[in-house]
Chain A
Amino acid sequence: EIFELKAELNSDKKEKKKEAVKKVIASMTVGKDVSALFPDVVNCMQTDNLELKKLVYLYLMNYAKSQPDMAIMAVNTFVKDCEDPNPLIRALAVRTMGCIRVDKITEYLCEPLRKCLKDEDPYVRKTAAVCVAKLHDINAQLVEDQGFLDTLKDLISDSNPMVVANAVAALSEIAESHPSSNLLDLNPQSINKLLTALNECTEWGQIFILDCLANYMPKDDREAQSICERVTPRLSHANSAVVLSAVKVLMKFMEMLSKDLDYYGTLLKKLAPPLVTLLSAEPELQYVALRNINLIVQKRPEILKHEMKVFFVKYNDPIYVKLEKLDIMIRLASQANIAQVLAELKEYATEVDVDFVRKAVRAIGRCAIKVEQSAERCVSTLLDLIQTKVNYVVQEAIVVIKDIFRKYPNKYESVIATLCENLDSLDEPEARAAMIWIVGEYAERIDNADELLESFLEGFHDESTQVQLQLLTAIVKLFLKKPTETQELVQQVLSLATQDSDNPDLRDRGYIYWRLLSTDPVAAKEVVLAEKPLISEETDLIEPTLLDELICYIGTLASVYHKPPSAFVEGSRGVVHKSLPPRTGSSESAESPDTAPSGVQAAEQPAVIPTQGDLLGDLLNLDLGPPVSGPPIATSSVQMGAVDLLGGGLDSLMGGSGSFAPAPSTAVPANLGAPLGSGLGDLFDLTGGVGTLSGSYVAPKTVWLPAMKAKGLEISGTFSRQVGSISMDLVLTNKALQVMSDFAIQFNRNSFGLAPAAPLQVHAPLAPNQSVEISLPLNTVGSVMKMDPLNNLQVAVKNNIDVFYFSTLYPLHILFVEDGKMERQMFLATWKDIPNENEAQFQIKDCSLNADAVSSKLQGSNIFTIAKRNVEGQDMLYQSLKLTNGIWVLAELRIQPSNPSFTLSLKCRAPEVSQYVYQAYETILKN
């Protein structure tokens, strides 16, 4: 086929040529490789037929990269075309030029580009502006050296609005990779230019200009107002992206306006209709709009407070729209509209979609907590729902009723009996834990509380940690309330928790309760049954400073993820944090604190219960659902525990394992701040007497040199790394009939310069059938020679009989150094910097650890987790490690909870090590 095409391409007939090029393009689009035709297609380029030219350009853009030498052939035509009298051809040439991503050509393109940037025809100028951005992407230095950036800045004052818009777009894109440069330094004059261009350019240009305007900081409230006035008409644009960008500018500059101003009120009113209109668009647009409205509603609830109904869910909305609408409904719920909202939520709770129903039930609970007047109705609605006996509805309802109890203690306990009826149907950990909490908390009012809890205790080991912890606490509560009849029960649970569990948190809590109860029951009562702080109304507000930052990112990906770009945009080098402008002095005084909703919000903030991840100090509670024992208890017991541990009371805690290493005094602060998985548990692990003091994984010894090959000397060994030093642990066994002596060892040159740091010392001669264990310290300053495989080590051992040679493979993780933790920013930059070709991907199969376990396990071997991210239920771990010779390896580990095989992507400037790093990962994780 290629052959035929080749013939046709070289035909004399124009028509035939064109048809042939079309065929080539068609096969290119479907992914066939037609790069072999490169010279023939390029030959067709010099034509005055515009269609043919365009087609050839299309082809060029696609294949130039794979055929850089050939691409040079096209340069001349480009240069010529850039001077064509037809502006369309000039623009086309400059446009295509930029798309040929071949380093060699770029320098030839500078001259024509410079000309085009100053072209008399604005169409050519606007195309050239974009070309600067393209070129910058290929070779930033060249663009700067050639002064194109300044030319681009000049274009902001161009007379044609389209040119201005494109210049702004190009500059914004360049600025994104250069956060420090002040490319888009705006002043009142340039702002004026932009605002004028805003009215006249295309919808896409308007988006670029508005996004650029949003970065400007007006000097006072008057300027802010005048910008707002000129941006407001954009709210009526048919393009939703324009609308949302305009909303961003307004939301940001509004911050500077005084609330007493009439204009402020007008602006608030004007913002509502366009936001609502976005919801009548296609579902995809709705989704993005809803995510943004969620932010806006938190920042300025007054804007949409009358628009509750537009968020009512239609049964055929896509699920992602439904869930977002529900979220906003709860945020807008108030005393005025709660009846409507509840009626809706009840309706939703009978829908088909399980996720949605669950969220709806949860929402009813949140309404109860948010609007006190409605609590009673919410509770009765929840009870109705429990009567339906639909399993997941019942479970969700119990979880939220627990929260209602915490908000309104001693008010709705009458429903406990109904709840207890459903005990058997609960199979989800969260619901079980909630139910257990309720039983423990109200143990004195439930006659058969002990029986109920005892029934849970039967399958204690099969429960999830959450339930186990909750059960432990509940039984202790029960014991403190009814000490006489439950002594046996409490002993049972304490021994289950402390002796039969391998979960450090559970053991830890068990010991703390045990000690508390045995030393001072009165104190225990005070601690365990302490008054709990009430939970406040909103449990999932975005933290105010983050919210303010996100408001600056309305309309962007950040607003969809509700995370600042620094948290997820790859390679954003030193992202500039945006912040809302401060209110100007004049208006500050005018604003009394009680009229400012934002102020009120801030004041309420401390009462908000942070979501689980935020509770750093609250070590003990971290793993549970909403607190069993309130924060004050938790902190006090942590202190007690910690003091005890250090005070040498350890022996009693640890039972038999007596040999306790010197108290790691520095470890305590570290542990307090460390994530839970490694928190207090580490202390126990340290003392557990396993013998590996913060060392990396050590493989069991294997036979390296069998006795048959070495005249009776058998050598087995392994490698280990402990606190920065590498050693080779050897066992020499004499299987010959004569005594062996005069041992010595030598390494051949190897890839990482491993060499013995001390001579091999065997103190006494080795008698027949005797063996000796030696730990040989190693360093990495020996001579280097690349081996194949990379981790191959050739060793010579000498004794009085002969010299023996063997080779062994050492696991790469013995070379992972302790300071291999990279800065987050560094990591992002490096990851981006290392070319994609250097990335290697591996599967780690059959590993059932969860993300936290994985990262603590790897950390033991100096693979450091820098960030953890949860993307749609998968955990992504970003890790770094450094080899003794200074090579950094960056890793991304993807863990799906349901799937035992992990995906490991490694990036390294020396890609040949990747495979061995992967092997190291596998060995560490599987052992």
Chain B
Amino acid sequence: MIHSLFLINCSGDIFLEKHWKSVVSQSVCDYFFEAQEKAIDVENVPPVISTPHHYLISIYRDKIFFVSVIQTEVPPLFVIEFLHRVADTFQDYFGECSETAIKDNVVIVYELLEEMLDNGFPLATESNILKELIKPPTILRSVVNSITGSSNVGDTLPTGQLSNIPWRRAGVKYTNNEAYFDVIEEIDAIIDKSGSTVFAEIQGVIDSCIKLSGMPDLSLSFMNPRLLDDVSFHPCIRFKRWESERVLSFIPPDGNFRLISYRVSSQNLVAIPVYVKHMISFKENSSSGRFDVTIGPKQNMGKTVEGVVMTVHMPKAVLNMNLTATQGSYTFDPVIKVLTWDVGKITPQKLPNLKGIVNLQSGAPKPEENPSLNIQFKIQQLAISGLKVNRLDMYGEKYKPFKGVKYITKAGKFQVRT
């Protein structure tokens, strides 16, 4: 099981270590540093590294490497999932998962890690339970604590720990009972030079914010549940009900959580809401090139495409770029060779265009590779897959909750090859 955890920042300092069994010397991280050096880019450090006596499984999140040490055969996914859960918990507790936040709250971090893992076995990883065991730091509470001398550690057994619904605590009370669902869909796509779709799929999630008193039992149904053939559920969902009736039936956790995530695969036609016309070329032996990109709306179901941003990793030989944008503003970072064009909203009457000259290093050979364009956008009030919530029913409680559903479509990994 998980032996130890080291947190390492980008400059290679180990700023926190925690051991659940015997102490493993920091020197084990040397193997990690070795791999890191080899990988050059922080994102490219391999997640599983073997050393003579241990295995190092790591994730990279929020500029921190979470490096865990294991000694026996352990499912690596289990470790990686757990590490992400640790990072999520820090985020949840401190508002951000950063080196400073962790260092400022080092005692809470230590208490949390102790609570999350026992002898390498996960113990309590649900944020609801953890929050009952160890209260998150707030300015108000620290003031109150210092006056009254009370502590931020709960002294009763969290109810969720043992019940069949570990994700919900008992005795929840709200004056305003509300249930919100956000249907968020991201389009992952690769568009080739000629504008045809090489690959496209939709990654959707339903994130919920449920503030309901007592033990509500909810049923959420869809207009077109057949769209959902590849779904991952929060443990609260009754799988049998879904199998037989295609209804999501569950007792929700309290607060924010991800209810389901789903994938609408490339077999179904995925609508692509924008198109890009591009002309990027480098002249042989002239140390310059042309750049001309236009973005326009495509199958957008009559909604406005907004928040459009294009980023391009230009080839190494590019020195700078002289461009004019008909809309929005652009920046080019000559150090990392990244061009960012913040377009904003697309109005079909006047399509945004960015065009001009690319200056190459003199004497450098004509770049072989053509840069890919990375596009981000947002469409409010639309789930591009067509998924629609039909109704939400509540059982088990008497009050009438306020219900709300919001749809949004975004670009995920949306790449246009040139």
Q: Which residues of A contact B (CB under 8 A)?
A: 14-15, 18, 22, 25-26, 29-31, 49-52, 54-55, 58, 62, 65, 86-88, 91, 95, 98-99, 101, 121-123, 127, 130-131, 133-134, 137, 160-162, 166, 169-170, 173, 176, 200, 202-204, 207, 211, 233, 236-241, 243-245, 273-274, 276-277, 280, 282-285, 287-289, 306-307, 309-310, 312, 314-316, 318-320, 340, 343-344, 347, 350-352, 388, 390, 555-558, 560-561, 565, 568-570, 572, 871-872, 876, 892, 894, 905
Contacts and interface: CB of A to CB of B under 8 A. Distances in A.
Interface stretch (B155-163, B212-220, B319-327, B350-358): B155-163
Contact of B77 (A288, A320, A352, A561): A288
Interface residues of B, number: 97
Given A202-B122, A238-B261, A50 B77 contact: no
Interface string B101-136: 000001101110010001101100110000000000
A17 B63 CA distance: 35
Interface string B264-281: 011100000000000000
A233 B239 contact: yes
Given A288-B47, A320-B47, A388 B368 contact: yes
B263 interface: yes
Nearest to A350: B369
Interface of A, secondary structure class, is helix
A204 B122 contact: yes
B188 interface: yes
- 5 nearest interchain CB pairs? A273-B230, A51-B153, A284-B47, A51-B151, A241-B77
Given A161-B164, A207-B78, A315-B372, 10 more contacts: A54-B114, A101-B22, A203-B125, A236-B232, A316-B415, A320-B44, A390-B368, A556-B76, A572-B73, A876-B52
B120 to A, nearest CB: 8
B171 to A, nearest CB: 17
Contact of B162 (A15, A101, A160, A276): A160
B76 A51 contact: no
Interface stretch (B196-204, B382-390, B396-404): B196-204
A642 to B, nearest CB: 39
B328 interface: no
Nearest to B108: A22
Contacts of B77: 240-241, 244, 285, 288-289, 555
A318 to B, nearest CB: 5
Contacts, number: 241
With most chain A CB atoms within 10 A of its CB, the pick from B161, B201, B267 is: B161
A552 B38 CA distance: 32
A414 B372 CA distance: 35
B110 A98 contact: no
A280 B188 contact: yes
Contacts of A130: 118-119, 121
29 contacts: A18-B151, A25-B106, A25-B110, A26-B107, A29-B16, A51-B153, A99-B20, A121-B157, A123-B161, A133-B119, A162-B162, A204-B121, A239-B81, A241-B77, A276-B265, A280-B203, A282-B80, A283-B47, A287-B47, A288-B76, A306-B267, A315-B313, A316-B374, A318-B41, A319-B39, A555-B77, A555-B78, A556-B75, A556-B76
Nearest to B369: A350
Given A240-B77, A245-B75, A65 B151 contact: no
B199 A310 contact: yes
Contact of A277 (B41, B230, B369): B230
Contacts of A122: 162
A637 B243 CA distance: 66
Contacts of A29: 16-18, 106, 109-110
B368 A86 contact: no
A58 B261 CA distance: 38
Contacts of A51: 151-153
Given A54-B111, A273-B230, A282-B59, A309 B266 contact: yes
B246 interface: no
A557 B263 contact: no
B183 to A, nearest CB: 17
B311 to A, nearest CB: 10
